[in-house]
């Protein structure tokens, strides 16, 4: 477990890049076991590659998605409901992984 400093998370890519990669990778693996791998891969590559993790003392970790995430998904056709479910689970899992890796309560 990495010692977490909220102030250093402001420059997260310089201070916590390996931990961020690990959280996203582990979330990908969890979702890839639950859902169609093409859909999970497309969301990862076309939406989450432009997402931004943040930390707030009152909210904990959260992931901000790019605008119009469903419009970014061009590699696969999926119905709206399934897309929303998988994307929400994916971001929830990333947030959970960040909490676990940094030892911060959810």
Segment 49-73, tens digit of pLDDT = 999 999 999 999 999 999 999 999 9
Report the C-alpha gap between 22 and 38 in whole angstroms: 21
Give me the percent of the chain exceeding a pLDDT of 90. 87
Say what the pLDDT of residue 106 is.
Answer: 78
| pTM for the predicted model, two decimal places | 0.93
Handedness of CA 77, 30, 85, 18 (dihedral sign): negative
pLDDT at 1 over 80: no
Say what the pLDDT of residue 69 is.
Answer: 94
Say what the pLDDT of residue 32 is.
Answer: 95
- Helix H or strand E segment including 39: helix 37-46
């Amino acid at each position: 477990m990495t010692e977490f400093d909220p102030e250093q998370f402001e420059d997260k890519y310089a201070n916590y890049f390996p931990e961020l990669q690990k959280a996203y990778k582990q979330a990908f693996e969890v979702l890839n076991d639950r859902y169609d791998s093409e859909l999970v891969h497309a969301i990862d590559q076309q939406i989450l590659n432009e997402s931004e993790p943040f930390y707030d003392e009152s909210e904990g970790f959260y992931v901000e998605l790019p605008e119009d995430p469903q419009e970014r998904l061009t590699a696969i056709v999926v119905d709206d409901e399934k897309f929303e479910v998988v994307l929400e689970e994916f971001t929830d899992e990333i947030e959970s992984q960040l909490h676990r890796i940094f030892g911060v309560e959810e």
